[in-house]
Amino acid sequence: MGKRLSVMLMVFLGMVGCSLNMNTKPLVPAVYIFGDSTFDVGTNHFLSNCTAQADHEPYGMDFPNSQPTGRFSNGYNTADEIAKLLGFEMSPPPFLMLVQNDTEYFRSQILKGVNFASGGAGILDETGQERFHGVVSMADQIQQFATVRSNISEHLKSSADADAMINESLFLFSVGSNDFFDLYYYNNNAVTEKMRQDLLKNVIARYENHLENLKNYGARKFGILSIAPLGCVPVMRLPNDCNQELNAITYKFYVLLKGVLKNLTSRFPEMKYSLTNTHNTTVEMILAPELFHIENATSPCCGNLTVNCGPDSAVCGNHDKYLFWDQFHPTQHVSVEAATLVFNGTNLYVAPLNLCQLALAK
C-alpha cells in the first residue's frame, strides 16, 4: 500500500507541467459533451416519458439554492468541473433546453458549447430505450450536434470559420456503462463469457463509428473517459467485495478503446485525444480513499445497496466523505477530484495527453 500511496500522491499532486487554468479566457472556444448520466446536466428533464430522472430531491441538495437540476449528483458533476477547469464560467446547457429558446439565443450559446449527454444512454442505439423509455442515444446526440454544426456556420456566416472554431473545440465523452448494465439487467445476471465478448465487440465497433462520424463533422480534440469498474458500483457489488467478473470486462473495454483511438489517429493524424483510465482511477479511490479525503468508498450516501436514492431516502451526514452519491454515481466531491486528475494528471492514468495538454495542443 505504501508504494501505491506514494505513486498516487505523485500523480495527484505532481502533475505534468500543464498548469490549472487561472485565466479568464477559456482554453478552447467551446466544449461539446456527450454521454450518459455521468455527464447529463438536465437533458432527461426534457424527456417527458423518460424514467431516468434526477430532477427531484435529494439530488442537487449541494447545488446552488439546493435545487435538483437533473444532474445525478448531490451537486455538480464531472462535466461541470472539467468545464470550470477549462476556464468556462459554467458548464454548457443541454441541447434540449437550448432548442426551446429563440434562434439568436440558441446560436449565441452554441458557440460556447452544448451538453448532449442523456442519463441511461449507451453506445448502442438500443441501450436504455426499453428500460428508461426514450433516452437520447449516442447516435441521436451526434445528430443533435450536426444541427448545432449547421447553425454555427449560419451564425458565423462562414463555413471556414465554423470549421476552424470546431477544430479547436473540445469534445468530451463519458459513455458505455449502461450497455453493460443492460446486459446484466435483462439476463438476470446469468451472463455468459460469450455474451460479454459479443457485447464488447459490438460496443467497441459502434464507438469507433460514433467518433469517426464526429470527426467528419469537424471534431479534432477528443477527451474520453473510459468506464468505471462497474463491479464496484454499489448496486453491482457482491456481499463482501466488488464483482471481479464485471470489473474484468470493464477493464477490457478500456484496453480495446485505447486500440480504437490509436487506430483512428493513425488513419486521421489531425485527430488528438486524451483517454482516462477511469477503471484504475476508481480502483485507486477504493483502495486508497484517504488520498482523496474519502472515508466510505463502498456504500451510497443517498439510499442503500438495495434501494436507490429517492425523495424519502436517508442521506449520509457528510457528503464529501463518500465516493458514491447513489447506487451508481459519484458525489460532487469525487467529481472535483476526478476532474482535476483528468485535466492535469500524469499519463499513468490519462494518456497520451491530459485534458489541459489536449486543449492547448495545435
Dist CA 222 CA 170 (whole Å)? 6
Residue 1 above 80 pLDDT?
no
Please compute the mean of the pLDDT values over residues 208-215 and round it to a whole number. 98
Per-residue confidence band for 103, with pLDDT thresholds at 50, 70 and 90:
confident
Greatest pairwise CA separation for the chain in angstroms: 60
pLDDT reported for residue 189: 72
Residue 265 above 70 pLDDT?
yes
Q: What does the block give as the cell for 46?
A: 426534457
Residue 21 above 60 pLDDT?
no
Per-residue confidence band for 188, with pLDDT thresholds at 50, 70 and 90:
confident
pTM for the whole thing? 0.94
More confident residue, 353 or 17: 353
104-129 pLDDT per residue, tens: 899 999 999 999 999 999 999 999 99
Per-residue confidence band for 278, with pLDDT thresholds at 50, 70 and 90:
very high
Residue 17 above 90 pLDDT?
no
Whether omega before 58 lies within 30 degrees of 0, making that bond cis, reads: yes
Residue 232 above 80 pLDDT?
yes
The residues with which 296 forms a beta bridge, in sequence order, are: 322
Percent pLDDT > 70 in the chain is 94
Dist CA 73 CA 208 (whole Å)? 29
Whether omega before 352 lies within 30 degrees of 0, making that bond cis, reads: yes
pLDDT reported for residue 19: 57
The mean pLDDT value of the chain amounts to 92
More confident residue, 352 or 362: 352
Residue 7 above 80 pLDDT?
no
Let me know: does 346 contact 14? Beta carbons within 8 Å. Answer: yes
Per-residue confidence band for 23, with pLDDT thresholds at 50, 70 and 90:
low
- Region of 214 (left: φ > 0; alpha: ψ -120 to 50; beta: rest) is alpha
Please compute the mean of the pLDDT values over residues 283-301 and round it to a whole number. 95
- Identity of the residue numbered 281: T
Residue 210 above 50 pLDDT?
yes
308-359 pLDDT per residue, tens: 999 999 999 999 999 999 999 999 999 999 999 999 999 999 999 999 999 9
Domains assigned to the chain: 22-280 (3.40.50)
45-83: burial string, b at 16+ Cβ within 10 Å, e else: bbbeebebbbeebbbbbbbeeeebbbbbbbbbbbbbbbb
Please compute the mean of the pLDDT values over residues 279-299 and round it to a whole number. 95
pLDDT reported for residue 220: 98
Strands of 202-356 (E only): list them: 221-225, 272-276, 296-300, 322-324, 350-352
Per-residue confidence band for 305, with pLDDT thresholds at 50, 70 and 90:
confident
pLDDT reported for residue 6: 38
Let me know: does 255 contact 275? Beta carbons within 8 Å. Answer: no
Let me know: does 40 contact 53? Beta carbons within 8 Å. Answer: no
Residue 17 C-alpha from the chain's centroid: 24
Long-range contacts of 257-263 (CB under 8 A, 24+ apart): 257/204, 257/207, 257/224, 257/226, 260/204, 260/207, 260/208, 260/211, 261/211, 261/222, 261/224, 263/208
The answer to whether the Cα torsion of 140, 168, 156, 85 is positive or negative is positive
Please compute the mean of the pLDDT values over residues 233-246 and round it to a whole number. 92
Q: Percent helix, strand, coil in the chain (nearest 5)?
A: 50, 10, 40
Residue 15 above 70 pLDDT?
no
